[in-house]
Amino acid sequence: MMSPVDTAHTNRLAQATSPYLLQHKHNPVDWWQWGPDALAEAKRSNRPILLSVGYAACHWCHVMAHESFEDEATARVMNELYVSIKVDREERPDIDQIYMNALHLLGEQGGWPLTMFLTPAGEPFWGGTYFPKESRFGRPAFTDVLREVSRIFREEPGKIEQNRAALLARLADRAHPAGKVVIGIKELDAAARQIGNMFDPVNGGFRGAPKFPQPMMLEMLWRTGLRADPAVILRREGEARASKETAGPVNGSSSFEGGLRPPPQDDGRGAAAFFDTVEHTLERMCEGGIYDHLGGGFSRYAVDERWLVPHFEKMLYDNAQLLELLALAYARSGKLLFKRRAQETVGWLKREMLTHEGAFAASLDADSEGEEGKFYVWSKAEIDAALGKEDADFFAGHYDITEAGNFEGHNILNRLARRERSEADEMRLAGMREKLLAARGKRVRPGLDDKVLADWNGLMIAALVNAGVMLDEPAWIALAAQAFDFIARAMTRDGALGHSWRGNQLLVPGLASDYAAMIRAALALYEASGTHGYLDWALSWQQFLDRHYANAENGGYYLTSEQATDLLVRPHSTADDATPNANSLAAKNLLRLAVFTGNDEWRAKADRLIEGVLSAAADNLFTHVGLLNALDLRLRAAEIVVTGSDAGRFAAAALKLPYLDRIVLRAADAAALPPTHPAQTKLAATTETAAFVCVGQRCSLPVNRANEIAAAVAGMRGAS
């Protein structure tokens, strides 16, 4: 029987700012925060360190906390044998990266909670993830693990030393480029076909379960479709206008029963196969239980192969990346489903994630009242009580509600079953959803991790700008500017970014991911508005990144500044995670900076980064899809230079093109182009409003009508 939590007792974590660490402030465990004091105590007492890494929305972190960290008997063992350190992986991803890499080197599958055993000097020698309180499912009991590891540490130091030395050597081993690797359009297309053939033709997403959104993979497929047919967006936009967005089911569902689509292989359909794979995956996600049909926003992943059963936590970064993809999919297809889900997701962002300071919180927990998903699931009786029997039956038919439930006796709202819906049906259902959302609001809410992370906010700021431009939502751009202003003002010290802000406390120094994401955000705002202050921020942060984070071996960036002194090694991973790696974001930023400033040194720096990192990662390119997408931008970017008295209207038209590979430069900036830029002579000879589309070293003739810019882009790409 687990002991009740003694809320009168507090440990050192009561002084933390992280919501995750504060969740453990009443534990009987004598927790330390990561830092020199904890390491000094381990050395003084000659005890090993138990490092526990998690985050506020992590379900299994909560399970292990309730089972073990809140248990007096388990805590006594931990306090006697170890110096126990608790880390929020979102607040300190540098620490998480080092010790998660160590776990992988031990041959273990990663995950959270991460449970690592370290020497008093902070050197890893063994670890795992979740350990149950009692032995079950082939996993040893946590206290048994604690006692045995402590015994080996005291009685068999040779084993500890062997593991320690081997792990340190491999952690410190930097990947050296094995030589220049040539990757071009042909190789990008081949990689995209391989990825596309891994997708589930019925349910979308990668085959099998669990199913993660994989936005970088979807972006890669979308880019491949654009390469295969650069004019396809023009046709689809024309079709959407001609049909007035009413062709087919109102909800934009697939025309195939069950949404069956062939994967993007050499099936004679060319670009359409890649676009269809992306749109089909987004459709199934938008209609599945992974999407919150009442409140908006997407959960982290689905545990099943149909997108029905979510792991209910909601992360800021997932919704940022999906928002951009929804805008792209709507721009091409005209399907209202994508536009509505984008609007609803921003509605959730404003209602539940917007902090008092105007930036965005990190995540929403999966659990409430100690149960995963309890806030989100329904019984048929609850639906009846909220809507009345007639409306409840109508709603149930559209959202898969039954007396027995569709998951463990509960109902997860979804629209995976194909059903025709009129616009009148949709309006009726919208009113019902509002009633259910109000009823749900009376429940105990999941925990909100309200710390502001610069990198995740940067992703969302850019997403709001890019989606806001494409979907004619200027309020989204204003929301993005507000969040940007807070980070630039409150999370910057002497020109340097911090990583995490909460309760008026800033965690510094920032990470390369913070700089890369916020530079991307600044450039998106600059491109959309033409306001030079955003470009100034981008340049300042890029220069700081180059001074303090540069990795001379591959032309890229370390995760941490050289000023970070509390780490065993300096993290240098270039692989993507659930978010794009800082190096892939930086590569895209450098390419855009080259256009906006007219300084080709930025482009040369991007080339060194892309070549250096991809050469080192040649055997594992699929973990570097973000950088492959940056390479596509390098090879195919359309620079659209607008000039003249009506340049603003031309710029607005250019910004409607997919944000992936268009860079819009206004007339006031055209003079900054380098003398060798192919548009220079054309600009000098032009006195009226016009646009020039440049791809590579070739530029179009003047485009004198704003509505012809898209055709000029397609023509230049087709000719290149």
Determine which of 51-65, 319-333, 555-569 has the lowest per-residue pLDDT on average: 555-569
| Mean confidence (pLDDT) of the chain | 88
- Answer with the residue of higher pLDDT: 715 or 202: 202
Tell which CATH architecture fits domain 451-634: Alpha/alpha barrel (1.50)
Which of 302, 305, 263, 300 minimizes the C-alpha distance to 280? 263
> What's the average model confidence in pLDDT over 283-290?
98
Q: pLDDT band at residue 170, thresholds of 50, 70 and 90?
A: confident
pLDDT higher than 60, residue 671: no
Q: pLDDT band at residue 179, thresholds of 50, 70 and 90?
A: low
Residue-level pLDDT at 621: 85
Q: What is the pTM of this model?
A: 0.86
Q: pLDDT band at residue 230, thresholds of 50, 70 and 90?
A: low
> What's the average model confidence in pLDDT over 271-291?
95
Alpha carbon of residue 633 to chain centroid:
19
d(CA 283, CA 258): 11
Determine which of 18-32, 110-124, 470-484 has the lowest per-residue pLDDT on average: 110-124
> What's the average model confidence in pLDDT over 54-64?
90
Supply the Cα-derived Rg of the chain in whole angstroms. 26
pLDDT higher than 80, residue 600: yes
Residue-level pLDDT at 266: 45
> What's the average model confidence in pLDDT over 270-291?
94
Residue-level pLDDT at 643: 83
- What residue spans define the domains of the chain? 12-172, 185-338+364-447, 451-634, 637-720
pLDDT higher than 90, residue 283: yes
Residue-level pLDDT at 254: 31
Determine which of 29-38, 283-292, 669-678 has the lowest per-residue pLDDT on average: 669-678
Cis peptide before 140 (omega within 30 of 0): no
Which of 645, 653, 648 minimizes the C-alpha distance to 708? 653
pLDDT in tens, 515-551: 999 999 999 999 999 999 999 999 999 999 999 999 9
| Side-chain half-sphere exposure of 514, counting CA atoms within 13 A | 29
Residue percentage of the chain with pLDDT more than 90: 67
Residue-level pLDDT at 246: 33
Per-position b or e across 527-565, b if 16+ CB within 10 A of its CB: bbebeeebbebbbbbbebbeebbbbeebbbbbbbbeebe
> What's the average model confidence in pLDDT over 160-179?
68
d(CA 418, CA 618): 42
Which of 651, 609, 658, 653 minimizes the C-alpha distance to 634? 609
Specify the CATH number for 12-172; select among 3.40.30.10, 1.10.10.10, 3.20.20.100, 3.40.50.300. 3.40.30.10
> What's the average model confidence in pLDDT over 583-589?
97
Which of 531, 538, 536 minimizes the C-alpha distance to 477? 531
> What's the average model confidence in pLDDT over 588-614?
93
Determine which of 158-172, 314-328, 331-345, 565-579 has the lowest per-residue pLDDT on average: 158-172
pLDDT higher than 80, residue 432: yes
> What's the average model confidence in pLDDT over 179-193?
81
pLDDT in tens, 98-139: 899 888 888 887 888 999 999 999 989 888 999 998 886 567
pLDDT higher than 60, residue 177: no
> What's the average model confidence in pLDDT over 550-575?
88
Fold identical between 451-634 and 637-720? Answer: no
pLDDT higher than 50, residue 383: yes
Please report the beta strands in 148-200, taking only residues with DSSP state E, as ranges in sequence order: none
Which residues 6+ apart lie within 8 Å of 381 measured at CB?
none
> What's the average model confidence in pLDDT over 29-39?
94
Residue-level pLDDT at 690: 87
Residue-level pLDDT at 667: 63
Residue-level pLDDT at 567: 83
> What's the average model confidence in pLDDT over 509-516?
96
d(CA 615, CA 565): 29
Tokens matching residue 264:
């993007």
Domain 637-720 falls in which CATH fold?
A: Glutaredoxin (3.40.30)
- Answer with the residue of higher pLDDT: 445 or 2: 445
Residue-level pLDDT at 393: 96
Determine which of 225-229, 256-260, 515-519, 637-641 has the lowest per-residue pLDDT on average: 256-260
Element housing 235 (H / E): helix 232-243
pLDDT higher than 90, residue 680: no
pLDDT higher than 60, residue 260: no
- Answer with the residue of higher pLDDT: 252 or 348: 348
Residue-level pLDDT at 76: 96
Determine which of 52-56, 77-81, 416-420, 567-571 has the lowest per-residue pLDDT on average: 567-571
Alpha-carbon torsion (484, 590, 699, 275), positive or negative:
negative
Which residues 6+ apart lie within 8 Å of 87 measured at CB?
33, 34, 51, 52, 53, 54, 95, 96
